[in-house]
Amino acid sequence: MPVLYGVLMYMGFASLRGMQFIDRVGILFMPPKYQPDHIYLRHVPLRKVHLFTMIQVGTFLPLHLDTMPQSVQSGRVFLIACTD
């Protein structure tokens, strides 16, 4: 059974590479000089791309955090308290 979990985890991480959302999150932390030449970066200003990505991240995180088990959510409160 652990081998099956490993294969499924590998397939999940391998499929992240081509997702536009993951690429745009990476572009947030990349200087403009080193950004890849994507078609959506040619036609849309970089500021709007960053804004759209932040909106997507802002809507994704609450949805993801609400589906976590209660034991993990208590750790989230601790993590937030430690960062302030």
pLDDT, average across residues 1-17? 86
pLDDT in tens, 12-68: 888 888 888 889 999 999 998 898 888 888 899 999 999 999 999 988 887 777 776
How much is the pTM? 0.66
**What pLDDT score does 41 carry?**
87
Q: Does 9 fall in a domain?
A: no
Do the domain assignments include residue 66?
A: yes
Angle between helices 46-66 and 20-28 (to 10 degrees): 110
Residue 10 lies in a domain: no
Residue 84: per-residue pLDDT: 45
Asked if residue 36 is part of any domain, the answer here is yes
User: Do the domain assignments include residue 2?
Assistant: no
Q: How far apart are the first and last CA of the chain?
A: 40
Structural domain including 64 reads 20-83
At 71 the pLDDT is 61
Inside any domain, residue 56 = yes
Domain count, the chain: 1
Nearest to 18 by CA among 44, 36, 45, 5: 36
